[in-house]
Amino acid sequence: MGNPGSRSDLDADETSIVTPIIETLADAVPKIRTAFETHRAYEGEENPSGEEMLAADVYADELLESRLGDLDCVGTYASEERADPVDTGEGLSLAVDPLDGSSNLTSNNGVGTIVGIYDAELPATGRDLLGAIYVLYGPTTTAMVATEAGVTEYLVSDGDLDVLTEEVEINDEGAVYGFGGPVPEWSREFRRYAMSIQRRLKRRYGGALVGDVNQVLSYGGVFAYPELETRPEGKLRLQFEANPIAFIVEQAGGESFDGDSSVLETEAERLHQRTPLFVGSEEPMAQLIETLGGRARDPHVTTRDSPWE
Ligand code: AFP
């Protein structure tokens, strides 16, 4: 990443599409963060992916639906916590993971919020993303904002946004790795890859996608949640998690892979569809793609100009 800057507020030219969305999100963030203290109990209900919901999941989802759904530019609010999208009028489609890694609240580890901004009806492919944002509730609260213009990291404080890093760029070699899922359930090829990576990189895995990817963007490296014996489709949700994260990493100069091609090429069939996800620095990702087989993305292809269509 580059050096911290002193510029405050958003750069209107670079991020005009996402400006109302990121500003509204930033305004909601302190409320979500405060709710962690009082909304830690499980609700006794499951989300559409069959996971138990915490009170904080429900709180963040309802707050974001009312705030983001109210924006003139937003036509659809879809969430990992809801079976169906909410029609909010004409405009862009948002796919939101209101509280990514919420089970980390129990152990007081990092959690996040992810927003994919699609210029298409959902479910859509990653090539329909105009932008993607994640918020990381760590020791400080930060937001990574990606558009076609690039990636900017902000400090989110009292609802205000201050630039921390302009032009976030992932390094090519990498220093850390984080792989999800039980090792005995990984494929033989992925286990072979993991054996080789652990000789060179340092293991860092926290169990919240946003936190794990943020350290890969910070230090370089690779994050993977591969297909498992009992979950051949992987664990992470394509619309809400994999696509926005792949968009951010690719816009920062990294690679994404779903076991076949770039995650952004994955055909979207269902709103809550899952996918294997691999993202990271050029070098470890090239080795991964070679080991698992598949095709690397053409570096000359922009997010909205795909040769696979
Ligand atoms: P929770 O929201 O249930 O905590 O799941 C988080 C998550 O979807 C994603 O943020 C993590 O990368 C992944 O699951 C962690 O999965 P494991 O608990 O299997 O490591």
CA-nearest residue for atom 12, ligand 1, is 209
Q: Are 82 and 88 spatial neighbours (Cβ–Cβ below 8 Å)? A: no
Q: How far is CA 129 from the centre of its chain?
A: 12
Q: Are 281 and 221 spatial neighbours (Cβ–Cβ below 8 Å)? A: yes
Share of the chain above pLDDT 70, in %: 90
pLDDT for the residue 297: 65
pLDDT for the residue 45: 82
Q: So where are the chain's domains?
A: 7-165, 176-292
pLDDT for the residue 99: 97
Name residues of the chain where pLDDT drops below 70: 1-15, 294-309
Its pTM surpasses 0.85: yes
pLDDT tens readout for residues 93-122: 999 999 999 999 999 999 999 999 999 999
Q: Which residue has the tokens 């919901």?
A: 53
Assign a CATH topology to domain 176-292. Answer: D-Maltodextrin-Binding Protein; domain 2 (3.40.190)
pLDDT tens readout for residues 34-69: 999 998 888 778 888 888 888 999 999 999 999 999
**Ligand 1 atom, smallest distance to 111 CA:** 10
Assign a CATH topology to domain 7-165. Answer: Fructose-1,6-Bisphosphatase; Chain A, domain 1 (3.30.540)
**Ligand 1 atom, smallest distance to 97 CA:** 2
Binding residues: 80, 97, 99-103, 205, 235, 241
Rounded-to-integer distance, Cα 123 and Cα 302, Å: 21
pLDDT for the residue 6: 29
pLDDT for the residue 175: 98
